[in-house]
Structure 1
Amino acid sequence: MEHRAFRLNGFGVLLALVVLAAGAAALAATGSGAGVAVGVVLAVVVVVGITGFTVINPNEAKVVQFFGRYVGSVDDAGFQWVIPLTTRRRVTLRVRNFETAKLKVNDAAGNPVEIAAVVVYKVVDSGKATFAVDDYEEYVAIQSEAAVRHLATTHPYDSHQDDRTSLRDGAEVAAELTAELRERTDLAGVEVIEARITHLAYAPEIAQAMLVRQQAAQVVAARTMIVEGAVGMVGLALDRLGEQGVVELDEERKANMVSNLLVVLCGDKATQPIVNAGSLYS
């Protein structure tokens, strides 16, 4: 939608208008009817031409309208001259950011969570930003909240499946949120540069229960690792004893040895050894 409006260097046009004004004054001073008429016309041209001057700051655009019709945008910083008798609306092209409010929503597993995100964006089409929506800043804020809510409802807070993305997977969730926001805000001429989750927590009413659940899951994971390591060590010990011929064990004694080693390796407390002073079978 955006296109460049007609513009000229403001200082050059100012010099030309000064020359015209001097010419108008000289013609009016002659006193002749034709000279006065031409002088008046030139004076009107100068007055109308003055209305075309505008100053544009860096990272700023002016949306130019001629009696309600959009004629283009000017984003060249400096003193510029555009079509006279037009209105110019300022639109900033600077990178902007804001943080959404903490939203309370249910995740994909139905657990209430609190979530917030920071969104970094800038205007890339001043025409759309001005005419496609009422207020592009409010539009981006509302769409950001809607995107964060949608993201929270399609992912669990914490996934116990390796192939499923959870809200705690920062990079993947940020990329998904950014892509969705870019699609939502393209209508308003806005480009979302980055969107990231800044706050994520279970709602207070279930936070304690979820903490117990997480602790239990960690205990189970730790125990699983300990058991796997212990089984490997027991198997290695039996294999080494058999290869080196240190001792010959029947199946019953192997089972007894495996049981004792697993107790030693998997127990929470230090074990007390018992020395058998008799034979192997007593």
Structure 2
Amino acid sequence: MKEKQGIYINGYVMALILLTLQITTVMWLKESSNAPFIPIISTVIVAICWGGFFMIQPNQAKVMTFFGSYVGTVKQAGLGWTIPFFIRKNISLRIRNFESGQLKVNDNHGNPIEIASVVVWMVDDSAEALFEVDDYESYVNIQSEAALRNMATTFPYDLHEGDKIALRSHPKEISEALKSEIQQRLSKAGVHVIEARISHLAYAPEIASAMLQRQQASAIIAARSKIVDGAVGMVEAALIKLSENEIVELDEERKAAMVSNLLVVLCGDHSTQPVINAGSIY
């Protein structure tokens, strides 16, 4: 079932034509006193044609059927006219938003997470929307949540070793994947998905505390690694400078002691307290 153009005539032009025909048939009926049958039939036909007028608001459409058969769709805004026997049903072509509820699913690593999405959509094919599915609005809601649930199980919540895309760290890629997943499901309903994005993402309450500790541990490890790399570089630079400038001669034991002290100072969590060797009284 694909959308096609319905029978449409400009309403203002048709109103002028019908008004002229109505006046003509009434005058003809008055003058035909001997055989009024044909003028009466003509007058009735013109009167029935007045029922073919309809009004379309901007970004709306009229879907027309005739004895259960789809005959076309009219999208021209304003006053229009069609065959009076057509049944006309309104359908909105405006952009709509759908926000799913918070779903509890397992990500790619089996961690329970809470996720929700916002989907921006519009009807693209009025015939498919009305005749291919029972209720296209309910169909959009259910299929969007199903696509979100399926997409959430495909990616991990956060990046781990071996992962390339994660729900939290790649919002653009995740939005495109979600949009593609929803569009694939809604194509049969004549719906075009304009945008789909994650509106809520969090670990489930039962593991949120443990995952927070894990994230904190990962952050601490990464920070410590940076600190150690920097400290080693600074110690190496200090030893090179001391040797090049011939400030002091250090044997291997004193170099080891100096390296140890510098690493303690540079890698420590708190500021160090200097200890001054004032010599001995003996």
Measured against the shorter chain, the TM-score band is: over 0.9
What amino acid sits opposite 2:11 in the alignment? G
How far apart, in 1, do the equivalents of 2:31 and 2:127 lie?
A: 49
Equivalent position of 1:23 in the other structure: 24
Mapping 1:118-157, distance limit 5 Å: 118-157=118-157
What amino acid sits opposite 2:74 in the alignment? V
Equivalent position of 1:220 in the other structure: 221
Measured after TM superposition, the shift of residue 86 of structure 1 is 0.2
TM-score (norm 2): 0.93
Mapping 1:1-282, distance limit 5 Å: 1-34=2-35, 36-161=36-161, 163-168=163-168, 169-276=170-277
What amino acid sits opposite 1:156 in the alignment? P
Alignment check: 8 A CA contact 2:52 2:81 kept: yes
What amino acid sits opposite 1:271 in the alignment? T
How far apart, in 2, do the equivalents of 1:162 and 1:112 lie?
A: 20
How far apart, in 1, do the equivalents of 2:29 and 2:153 lie?
A: 77
Greater shift in the superposed pair: 19-28 or 55-64: 19-28
For residues 181-212 of structure 1, the C-alpha deviation after alignment (integer angstroms, 9 at most, x for no partner) is 11211111111111111111111111112122
Cα root mean square deviation, aligned: 1.7
Alignment check: 8 A CA contact 1:48 1:85 kept: no
Aligned residues: 278
How far apart, in 2, do the equivalents of 1:33 and 1:235 lie?
A: 123
How far apart, in 1, do the equivalents of 2:278 and 2:149 lie?
A: 70
For residues 5-42 of structure 1, the C-alpha deviation after alignment (integer angstroms, 9 at most, x for no partner) is 121111111121112111221121124344x1221221
Greater shift in the superposed pair: 47-56 or 136-145: 47-56
Q: What SS is found at the alignment partner of 2:71?
A: strand
How far apart, in 2, do the equivalents of 1:254 and 1:83 lie?
A: 101
What amino acid sits opposite 1:107 in the alignment? D
Q: What SS is found at the alignment partner of 1:51?
A: helix
How far apart, in 2, do the equivalents of 1:60 and 1:261 lie?
A: 75
What amino acid sits opposite 1:195 in the alignment? A
Greater shift in the superposed pair: 1-10 or 154-163: 154-163
How far apart, in 1, do the equivalents of 2:222 and 2:162 lie?
A: 14
Measured after TM superposition, the shift of residue 145 of structure 1 is 0.4
What amino acid sits opposite 1:96 in the alignment? R
How far apart, in 1, do the equivalents of 2:161 and 2:121 lie?
A: 33
Q: What SS is found at the alignment partner of 1:187?
A: helix
Measured after TM superposition, the shift of residue 262 of structure 1 is 0.5
Alignment check: 8 A CA contact 1:64 1:88 kept: yes
Measured after TM superposition, the shift of residue 162 of structure 1 is 7.4
How far apart, in 1, do the equivalents of 2:87 and 2:124 lie?
A: 21
Measured after TM superposition, the shift of residue 257 of structure 1 is 1.4
Measured after TM superposition, the shift of residue 66 of structure 1 is 1.7
For residues 72-108 of structure 1, the C-alpha deviation after alignment (integer angstroms, 9 at most, x for no partner) is 1111100001122001111101100011011011111
Measured after TM superposition, the shift of residue 268 of structure 1 is 1.2
How far apart, in 2, do the equivalents of 1:225 and 1:73 lie?
A: 65
Unmatched tracts of structure 1, length 5 or more: none
What amino acid sits opposite 1:115 in the alignment? I
What amino acid sits opposite 2:157 in the alignment? Y
Alignment check: 8 A CA contact 2:59 2:94 kept: yes
Measured after TM superposition, the shift of residue 64 of structure 1 is 1.1
Q: What SS is found at the alignment partner of 1:167?
A: coil
What amino acid sits opposite 1:185 in the alignment? L
How far apart, in 2, do the equivalents of 1:138 and 1:252 lie?
A: 78
Measured after TM superposition, the shift of residue 253 of structure 1 is 2.2
How far apart, in 2, do the equivalents of 1:252 and 1:79 lie?
A: 98
